Amino acid sequence: QVHLVESGGGLAQPGGSLRLSCAASGIIFRLYGMTWYRQAPGKQREAVATITSGGIINYVDSVKGRFTISRDNAKNTVYLQMNSLKPEDTGVYYCNSNYYPESYWGLGTQVTVSS
């Protein structure tokens, strides 16, 4: 059975930092592309950062220079380091693993950026 478990969310002040983790089990992690999505209140879910099985990385424009995605295949874990947080970064952050045609989701972790 596949599980993706996100952690590290919480409340941060504008300009602050948080580090999200997503621990995977039940999959051959190194084969999967991993993506962090977020969903803000009243908005559609959007892809924030992706790292492929080969280590190719992409970010949505709004987080470039502030967020860093990384993966540790030995620990079956993907990370999202979020710096210089803004109120518009608020939302539920989800981890997704993808190895066509398989795609799995975690339950999400709440990130709130507010003073």
Place of tokens 């969310």: 9
Over residues 2-59, the pLDDT tens digits come to 999 999 999 999 999 999 999 999 999 999 999 999 999 899 999 999 999 999 999 9
**1 Cβ neighbours under 8 A, 6+ residues apart:** 26
Tell me if the bond preceding 101 is cis, omega within 30° of 0.
yes
Is the four-CA dihedral 29, 76, 1, 10 of positive or negative sign?
Answer: negative
CB of 24 closer than 8 Å to CB of 3: yes
Over residues 44-100, the pLDDT tens digits come to 999 999 999 999 999 999 999 999 999 999 999 999 999 999 999 999 999 999 999
> CA dist 80 to 1, 2, 42, 100, 101, Å?
24, 21, 23, 23, 24
Report d(CA 64, CA 78) in Å as an integer.
Answer: 18
